[in-house]
């Protein structure tokens, strides 16, 4: 995979290299643009990731962390395919609330903890 839509995006290349050098069943965490998959209109990157790894989760960081929403980020959680890798029935998808909203943050953290208990144990 050399390019997406005719261009080489650094975040696609970092993920590709990470998957190339990670051990089998190794975990990878990336800070990625929120529009990572929408930039992949021909699904080249998606097919590459699906062939090489399991997408465990995508956590969208609170928009309040970013002055400009065009640079907002998410945390992408991958596991390289290999012996013993369990594919969860549902990937962990969450939009994290503002860190100032303690009750909402506590609720989402309990849901994330519950997801890990049910899907990765």
Domain spans of the chain, in order of start = 10-119
Fold of 10-119: Rossmann fold (3.40.50)
| Higher pLDDT, residue 57 or 8 | 57
In tens, the pLDDT along 43-93 reads 888 899 999 999 999 999 999 999 998 899 999 999 999 999 989 989 999
Q: Does residue 4 carry a pLDDT above 80?
A: no
Largest CA distance in the chain: 44
Residue 6 has pLDDT above 60, yes or no: no
The CB-side HSE value for 60 (13 A sphere, CA atoms) comes to 14
* Whether this model's pTM surpasses 0.85: yes
Sheet holding 27-33, edge to edge: 27-33, 73-80, 53-60, 92-95
């Amino acid at each position: 995979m050399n390019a997406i839509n005719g261009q080489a995006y650094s975040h696609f290349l970092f993920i590709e290299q990470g998957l190339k050098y990670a051990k089998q069943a190794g975990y990878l965490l990336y800070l990625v643009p929120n529009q990572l998959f929408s930039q992949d209109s021909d699904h080249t990157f998606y097919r590459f990731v699906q062939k090489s790894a399991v997408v465990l989760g995508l956590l969208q960081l609170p928009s309040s962390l970013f002055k400009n929403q065009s640079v907002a980020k998410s945390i992408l959680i991958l596991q390289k395919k290999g012996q013993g890798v369990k594919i969860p029935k549902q990937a962990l998808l969450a939009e994290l609330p503002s860190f100032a909203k303690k009750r909402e943050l506590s609720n989402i953290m309990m849901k994330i903890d519950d997801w890990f208990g049910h899907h990765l144990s």
